[in-house]
Amino acid sequence: MKDSQFVNYLIAIIGGLFGFFILMVILANFITPEEKTQDVMVSEAIEARIKPAGSVTVGAPVEVKAAAFSPADAYQASCFACHGTGAAGAPKVGDKAAWKARIAQGKSTLYKHAIGGFKGMPPKGGSSLSDDEIKAVTDYMVSKSK
């Protein structure tokens, strides 16, 4: 009889726990509203935190105009370091004696040396100017050295 009494107690305890569990589920559903509402300020704060840092606008391309080329500015930016100071044996702009023999060789030789490099000078003086721009800078330097 003692074994059957133990089984009856065990079934009663398990049944009581199951009943308690069902009661808690029903109570939780009764207390919790079916539609969860959020405070408007909380929703706005969440939206502010997760919004993208930037945006992309696709439309007509913007036309960017390049600045007008200036041989004087290009000389200052690319050539002055050597031709303004005489560094590495470069003839200084304005030194008529240093330029006289070079000018006498003709523009085609000056252009060839300016574009392709000559002695210690790298091609195009190390700049990214086009061949025509290098020719214009060379003409500028020659005009200042005649």
- Residue ranges per structural domain of the chain: 1-33, 71-145
Position 21 scores a pLDDT of 96
Are the beta carbons of 76 and 140 closer than 8 angstroms?
no
Integer CA distances (angstroms), 129 to 74, 92, 111, in order: 8, 20, 13
What distance separates the 2 farthest-apart alpha carbons in the chain?
132
Q: Considering only the top CATH level, what class is 71-145?
A: mainly alpha
Position 11 scores a pLDDT of 94
The whole-angstrom separation of Cα 58 and Cα 36 is: 38
Two structure tokens written together for 135: 């020719």
Helix or strand or coil: residue 46? Answer: helix
Sequential pLDDT tens for the chain (146 residues): 578 888 999 999 999 999 999 999 999 888 876 666 667 778 888 888 888 877 777 777 767 677 788 888 888 888 888 888 888 888 888 888 888 888 898 888 888 888 888 888 888 888 888 888 888 888 888 888 88
One-letter amino acid for residue 145 of the chain: S
